[in-house]
Chain A
Amino acid sequence: MNQPLHFVPSDEFRQRAQAVVENPALQKSFRGAMDFLQTKRLAQFPDDAALQRLRDLGESIRQYSLSRLPELLETLEAKLTDNGIQVHWAETPEEANQIFIEIAQAKHARAVIKGKSMVSEEVELNHALQAAGIEALESDMGEYIVQLADEKPSHIIMPAIHKTKVEIAELFAERIPGVDYTDSVDELIQIGRKVLRDKFASADIGVSGVNVMVAETGTMCLVENEGNGRMSTTVPRVHIAITGIEKVVEKLTHVPPLLSLLTRSATGQAITTYVNMISSPRKTGELDGPDEVHLILLDNGRTQAYADPQLRSTLQCIRCGACMNHCPVYTRIGGHAYGTTYPGPIGKIISPHLLGLDSTYALATASTLCGACAEVCPVRIPIPDLLIRLRTEAYKNPATAGEAVRGAGSAYSSVAMALWHGWAATYRYPVLYRLFTWCASRLRFLTPSNQAGWTRNHVAMKPAKKRFRDLIKS
């Protein structure tokens, strides 16, 4: 796993998932981590009735914000501009990266220090900056570890959740000059702190994501525990934030319930160590803070989800990661198997809009539809319904699939469709059904022992000697 993971074709999804399932160490590591996060979340919600009321509120705030999204974005832009923050819009990852590079070149920037941002992972910013000759260093401890190992985050909140402390100890000893092996977590964190301290002071640009944007005040809210987010947005002369267009609310009073749902659902904290609310660059007279603040608003397929009333609910997401923490599939295969920036249930429903259904439809099939994700989602996204919808879109006839989802119909097979039609007809007409079961019971010796996907994990199916109706008659 030492190669950088790029978006990978979905036909390799099965192999990658299989490899993880057969690795007991990884299984144990994921199971332990998910149990930990589930227990911590539950402890934050002792009163179920209160939780349900808060979820109702969170859902209604997100739905309300989306229902007025275009005008809220315009208000936000006007307010941010008034406050002195420069707003940029990007339709694609390439456009977003180009904006970063242009700002960096205008500032003659050599080094960028990054706070945690999944949207910057989504656009593969580090690659783009490196290609332009600009060093990009991750400063969140988990992200730093993952970057040091040339990997990608396997979880949206805890990027290095797939690694044990021994693996991290070996990684540090091997990759950081002058560091001896230690598997004390405290010492490892202090090593990371020391390496990154100098980088904060010398970086030309700080990059961050945003958790919630407030239209009425032109404010960007960021949550974090380590302080690297504050460092990245305070120490360098230029701060560039990037986030998706959906992350806006109208009023400041909409922020407290969302933050409360976010931190409690994500890591089981009543509040994170720091909540950082940024409303402008350094004003004259102030002694620190960046002279320039930029915000990049990214589309990258979000407008496609927005166009469809059902798929729009995908954009309610506040990226807490509770759905993956409670997903029986994520818990067994981990984040890397998906091959997309966002793994787990949210990844399955957002990635088709980002990357097209043609390369991602297999993800939606990797679900038992057990509904655990929807049960814990703090803003009540109906994830199983969306999974079924995406499966349906993938298997539609491309000629009539429509334009709701890019890549719809890419899993279509005329043979499979003919078989399903035959199956449907058999069940619709009693004569056909009787004929079919009569043939099946007489010709049972012809049943193949290798039944494609089924026999990989099950005993081969074989029709009974006598049909049910014959058993009743006799």
Chain B
Amino acid sequence: MSGLSARERILTKLRAAHATPLSCPDAQAFYPAAVEDQATRVERLMLNMKNAMAETHRCSASRLADCLALIFNEKQLSSVAIGPELLADQTLCDQLRNQTMLVPVTALRVDQPALFNTVDAGLTLTQGGIAETGTLVLKSGDESPRLLSLVPPVHIAILNASKVVDTLMSLMVKENWAAGLPTNVILVSSPSKTADIQQTLAYGAHGPKQLVVVLVEDR
């Protein structure tokens, strides 16, 4: 087999084993449809996030700017990075500019040094929430840079209550992820942490030391 590529040699060896194909397990059947209402589901997510040391806030859509302003103020965040997804909301940005310096991240890699060195927090939207594990779903895209939720010491995530689902499985099925995924999907369930030194939990290992969830309720 010396003339063949590594790929062909590996596949030839695997095929030579003639493994009998088994039938495909139905993983979906393991996750029964949830019976709880949306409000209970949201409560479960918030409780799980709180237990994982995330800070949780709630507000209505019309009070979002006030809620964020309070958080900026309390944490004394003098500069907050935001991506195109939030810059599009002119009114919100204008209100926020009264409280802090907004650092727009809009050009390829140009803003990276600021993110690493000077920005106090990253503010992002969230594409979903998972109640079972207390998890935020972040999908990358033209409007949503990946580093905003990772590099600054504080990550503030806005989550719409209607986007909370029961399990990762239900989200995958509901949104038909099998048909194709964006460049990057990140599930976030707590601030960055490590227990690599003598099993002692420490926060802010390489990612944000603080994770702040702002739940927007459309009531």
The reply to whether B147 and A288 form a contact with Cβ atoms under 8 Å apart is yes
- Smallest distance from the beta carbon of B7 to chain A beta carbons, Å? 4
The reply to whether A185 and B169 form a contact with Cβ atoms under 8 Å apart is no
Q: Could you say which of A67, A73, A279 contacts B19, with CB atoms under 8 Å apart?
A: A67
Chain B residue at minimum C-beta to C-beta distance from A246: B14
For this complex, into which size category does the number of interface residues on chain A fall?
35 or more
Q: A216-B178, A274-B187 are in contact. Are A141 and B9 (CB under 8 A)?
A: no
Interfacial chain B residues near A73, Cβ < 8 Å: 10-11, 14
Tell me, yes or no, whether A387 is within 8 Å of chain B by CB. Answer: no
Tell me, yes or no, whether A355 is within 8 Å of chain B by CB. Answer: no
Chain B residue at minimum C-beta to C-beta distance from A74: B11
Interfacial chain A residues near B24, Cβ < 8 Å: 64, 250-251
Partner-contacting stretch, out of B36-44, B58-66, B134-142: B134-142
- Smallest distance from the beta carbon of B122 to chain A beta carbons, Å? 12
Q: Could you say which of A251, A273, A287, A306 contacts B27, with CB atoms under 8 Å apart?
A: A251
The reply to whether B199 and A33 form a contact with Cβ atoms under 8 Å apart is yes
Tell me, yes or no, whether B6 is within 8 Å of chain A by CB. Answer: yes
Q: A53-B30, A256-B172, A273-B207 are in contact. Are A70 and B15 (CB under 8 A)?
A: yes
Chain A residue at minimum C-beta to C-beta distance from B28: A253
Q: A89-B6, A91-B10, A273-B207 are in contact. Are A141 and B186 (CB under 8 A)?
A: no
Tell me, yes or no, whether A443 is within 8 Å of chain B by CB. Answer: no
The reply to whether B10 and A251 form a contact with Cβ atoms under 8 Å apart is no
Q: Could you say which of A142, A165, A190, A251 contacts B204, with CB atoms under 8 Å apart?
A: A190
Q: A165-B200, A306-B17, A312-B19 are in contact. Are A254 and B27 (CB under 8 A)?
A: yes
The reply to whether A251 and B178 form a contact with Cβ atoms under 8 Å apart is yes
Q: Mark A123-142, 1 if CB is under 8 A from B, else 0.
A: 00000000000000001111
Contacts of B174-219 to chain A: CB distance below 8 A: 177-178, 180-200, 202, 204-208
Tell me, yes or no, whether B33 is within 8 Å of chain A by CB. Answer: no
Whole-angstrom CA separation of A164 from B105 in the bound complex: 42
The reply to whether B205 and A189 form a contact with Cβ atoms under 8 Å apart is yes
Interfacial chain B residues near A234, Cβ < 8 Å: 146-147, 150, 184
Q: Could you say which of B27, B31, B183 contacts A281, with CB atoms under 8 Å apart?
A: B183
The reply to whether A89 and B5 form a contact with Cβ atoms under 8 Å apart is yes
The reply to whether A252 and B177 form a contact with Cβ atoms under 8 Å apart is yes
Q: Could you say which of A190, A278, A299 contacts B10, with CB atoms under 8 Å apart?
A: A299
Whole-angstrom CA separation of A252 from B179 in the bound complex: 10
The reply to whether A286 and B194 form a contact with Cβ atoms under 8 Å apart is no
Chain A residue at minimum C-beta to C-beta distance from B168: A256
- Smallest distance from the beta carbon of A138 to chain B beta carbons, Å? 11
The reply to whether A286 and B141 form a contact with Cβ atoms under 8 Å apart is yes
Q: Mark A260-283, 1 if CB is under 8 A from B, else 0.
A: 000000010011111111111111
Chain A residue at minimum C-beta to C-beta distance from B19: A67
Q: A287-B83, A287-B105 are in contact. Are A142 and B172 (CB under 8 A)?
A: no
- Smallest distance from the beta carbon of B78 to chain A beta carbons, Å? 20
Tell me, yes or no, whether A46 is within 8 Å of chain B by CB. Answer: no
The reply to whether A287 and B11 form a contact with Cβ atoms under 8 Å apart is no
Contacts of B1-55 to chain A: CB distance below 8 A: 5-7, 9-11, 13-17, 19-25, 27-28, 30-31, 48
Whole-angstrom CA separation of A81 from B169 in the bound complex: 26
Chain A residue at minimum C-beta to C-beta distance from B106: A287
Contacts of B148-169 to chain A: CB distance below 8 A: 150-151, 167-169
The reply to whether B205 and A225 form a contact with Cβ atoms under 8 Å apart is yes
Q: Is the contact region of chain B dominated by helix, strand, or loop, or is it mixed? A: loop
Q: Could you say which of B10, B27, B191 contacts A61, with CB atoms under 8 Å apart?
A: B27
Chain A residue at minimum C-beta to C-beta distance from B171: A256
Q: Which of A54, A161, A255, A256 has the most CB of B within 10 A?
A: A256
- Smallest distance from the beta carbon of A142 to chain B beta carbons, Å? 4
Tell me, yes or no, whether A69 is within 8 Å of chain B by CB. Answer: yes
The reply to whether A217 and B194 form a contact with Cβ atoms under 8 Å apart is no
Chain A residue at minimum C-beta to C-beta distance from B113: A201
The reply to whether A273 and B192 form a contact with Cβ atoms under 8 Å apart is yes
Interfacial chain B residues near A196, Cβ < 8 Å: 206
Interfacial chain B residues near A91, Cβ < 8 Å: 6, 9-10
Tell me, yes or no, whether A235 is within 8 Å of chain B by CB. Answer: yes
Q: Mark A273-308, 1 if CB is under 8 A from B, else 0.
A: 111111111110111110000000101000100110
Tell me, yes or no, whether A90 is within 8 Å of chain B by CB. Answer: yes
Chain A residue at minimum C-beta to C-beta distance from B183: A280
Interfacial chain A residues near B204, Cβ < 8 Å: 189-190, 193
Q: Could you say which of B5, B172, B198 contacts A165, with CB atoms under 8 Å apart?
A: B198
- Smallest distance from the beta carbon of B177 to chain A beta carbons, Å? 5
Q: A159-B196, A227-B206 are in contact. Are A69 and B14 (CB under 8 A)?
A: yes
The reply to whether A256 and B169 form a contact with Cβ atoms under 8 Å apart is yes
Q: Which of A37, A259, A286, A288 has the most CB of B within 10 A?
A: A288
Chain A residue at minimum C-beta to C-beta distance from B169: A256
The reply to whether B196 and A288 form a contact with Cβ atoms under 8 Å apart is no
Interfacial chain A residues near B107, Cβ < 8 Å: 287
Q: A286-B142, A307-B16 are in contact. Are A225 and B181 (CB under 8 A)?
A: no
Whole-angstrom CA separation of A294 from B189 in the bound complex: 27
Whole-angstrom CA separation of A259 from B189 in the bound complex: 14
Tell me, yes or no, whether A447 is within 8 Å of chain B by CB. Answer: no
Interfacial chain B residues near A57, Cβ < 8 Å: 25, 27, 30
Whole-angstrom CA separation of A165 from B199 in the bound complex: 9
Tell me, yes or no, whether B133 is within 8 Å of chain A by CB. Answer: yes
- Smallest distance from the beta carbon of B32 to chain A beta carbons, Å? 12
Tell me, yes or no, whether A168 is within 8 Å of chain B by CB. Answer: yes
The reply to whether B206 and A145 form a contact with Cβ atoms under 8 Å apart is no
The reply to whether B196 and A165 form a contact with Cβ atoms under 8 Å apart is no
Q: Which of B27, B31, B142, B208 has the most CB of A within 10 A?
A: B27
A-B contact pairs, 12 of them (CB 8 A): A185-B197, A201-B112, A217-B177, A226-B205, A252-B181, A256-B167, A271-B135, A271-B187, A277-B181, A277-B185, A278-B184, A287-B107
List 7 extra interface pairs beyond A278-B183, A306-B17, CB under 8 A. A69-B14, A189-B204, A193-B206, A274-B187, A287-B83, A287-B105, A287-B107
Chain B contacts to A: CB under 8 angstroms: 5-7, 9-11, 13-17, 19-25, 27-28, 30-31, 48, 83-84, 105-109, 112-113, 116, 132-133, 135, 140-142, 145-147, 150-151, 167-169, 172-173, 177-178, 180-200, 202, 204-208
